[in-house]
Structure 1
């Protein structure tokens, strides 16, 4: 019985680990030089901030606040050159194979929280997408959520993404 449980645990760990590093066809996940990374934060059941932010390789940051953010609409800023390459490096383990659109594994789904979508767009316009639900309690998705929650501070836009409830604006 113990041997069976050990084998089951090892199999599950290998499957979850594989979800973070390869696409559907098992191709290795690789970034291409010059990729732009876009993170979209979707609505939740409450008054969660809804926004998107993209980071270009040259450090250009484009923010669009859609709902429940301190800043509504588009804003741009710049970050030092090492920031985009460090971001791409930190996100690399969650990047699917080029062209794939896949969820990053979590141990359980929490459906009333914001959903994150991370899109890598290469110079040819090919998109690669990883999706994860906020509040992921375990598995590779938990690490990705940690990175994404820290992104506004890392990009110097934390004040723009702060949660704001405005009169007459509904939840979600």
Structure 2
């Protein structure tokens, strides 16, 4: 049976944190290797990983794909301003952005915008179609501003885990 985690992720112990650091570097690291590195048994590491997955601490195990390797050459950061921040408009926008595969990341933000999105598309023609669907023809959207990335200087998904 998986070990029960504390109700707060901030209460992860030093072993959990060490395991997370190793998994963030390479989630294919053998549990035997992790166990040796953190001075636990392989079974204990397996139980801890299962518990962190069940608790949502480990949200997914994914492969980070180089966009150019699959012909996704346009990366755009888009600021979106809704007409208003009513729950219905925000929820509708969230649902649409979640359902669009080209939207790689989406953040509901404070400040001068309602949302900031990272969109990856194969070419400018597809990107234009996306902007029409998501923004220009969307009655919830007041305005949007696209920033086309010239270079992907740093990308990733690792989180700094304090000791």
User: What is the TM-score with the length of structure 1 in the denominator?
Assistant: 0.25
More helix by share: 2
More strand by share: 1
User: What is the TM-score with the length of structure 2 in the denominator?
Assistant: 0.26
